[in-house]
Amino acid sequence: MIYMSNIGACYYELKNYEMAIESCLRAIDIGTENRAEYKLKAKALRRVGDSYRKLQNFEQAIVYYNKSLVEENNKQVSDLLKGTQKELDEKAKKDYINPELSEKARLEGNEFFKKGDYPEAVKKYSEAIKRNPEDKTNYSNRATAYTKLGAIPEAIKDCEKALEIDPKFVKAYIKKAYALFLMKDYYKALETYQIALDIEPENKEIENGIKATVEKNE
């Protein structure tokens, strides 16, 4: 088993991951037949996992890391398992991105919003965000729907995310300021309106928002 496992290690160093997997699996078969130590089998199984991870086959990497942990509870392998699961999740998110389907979901969300069906609007805007997480409009739209539902903290978070994407997105500042106004945090609302006003000095909506906030704050 050790000889075959070492051959697998050599293939791994040569970046021939397919042969590394084949050699290590053969080593594991030999080890099982000859009742090899758990640690030896765990090491070979981990290398199979490492090889699959290098091949970007995260699902199979996870399978073999788990098998390795069954043979031996090893913190390093446990950490590799967590890291690989994270990579798999990130890959799934990237694979899910589709700007065209994002736009479709956003438009469907707009229709639900017009009908006053704000929970369904939130669902559609959330789908739009998953399909295109770098589109500031999706967060802005969902913030408006959250505000209608009285979910003010969630609305503020969406406005802040939109502003991370575009720090000069005036609509997001206005919506955030209004959400702060609803929370009776008038000082922060005025601060937010002022940032928006610095970007668009002639914007009447901002001026009206400031006026309403000042009146409430007096």
Work out the mean pLDDT of the chain and round it to a whole number.
95
pLDDT in tens, 114-126: 999 999 999 999 9
Q: Find out whether 142 and 160 touch, Cβ atoms under 8 Å.
A: no
Closest-CA residue to 198 (of 218, 172, 170, 171): 170
Ranges of CATH 1.25.40.10 domains, the chain:
2-96, 99-217
Report the alpha-carbon distance of residue 197 to residue 98 in Å, rounded: 34
pLDDT band for position 218 (cuts 50, 70, 90)? low
Closest-CA residue to 51 (of 89, 103, 7, 91): 7
pLDDT band for position 216 (cuts 50, 70, 90)? confident
How far, CA to CA in Å, does 144 sit from each of 34, 38, 112, 211, 215? 66, 57, 12, 21, 23
pLDDT at 168: 96
Closest-CA residue to 172 (of 199, 212, 207): 199
pLDDT at 96: 93
Q: Enter the DSSP assignment of 203.
A: -
- End-to-end CA separation in angstroms for the chain: 81
pLDDT in tens, 78-97: 999 999 999 999 999 899 99
CA 140 remoteness from chain centre: 18
Report the alpha-carbon distance of residue 152 to residue 158 in Å, rounded: 10
Q: Find out whether 164 and 134 touch, Cβ atoms under 8 Å.
A: no
List the CATH code of the domain at 99-217: 1.25.40.10
Q: Mean pLDDT over residues 190-206, rounded?
A: 95
pLDDT at 62: 96
CA dihedral 93, 94, 99, 101 (to 10 degrees): -50
Q: Find out whether 190 and 210 touch, Cβ atoms under 8 Å.
A: yes
Q: Mean pLDDT over residues 46-73, rounded?
A: 95
pTM here is 0.76
Q: Which CATH number fits domain 2-96: 1.25.40.10, 3.30.499.10, 3.20.20.120, 3.40.50.300?
A: 1.25.40.10
pLDDT band for position 113 (cuts 50, 70, 90)? very high
Q: Please give the structure tokens belonging to residue 43.
A: 């090491």
CA angle 104, 106, 111 (to 5 degrees): 95
pLDDT in tens, 184-194: 999 999 999 99
pLDDT at 36: 85
Q: Check whether 34 has a pLDDT greater than 80.
A: yes
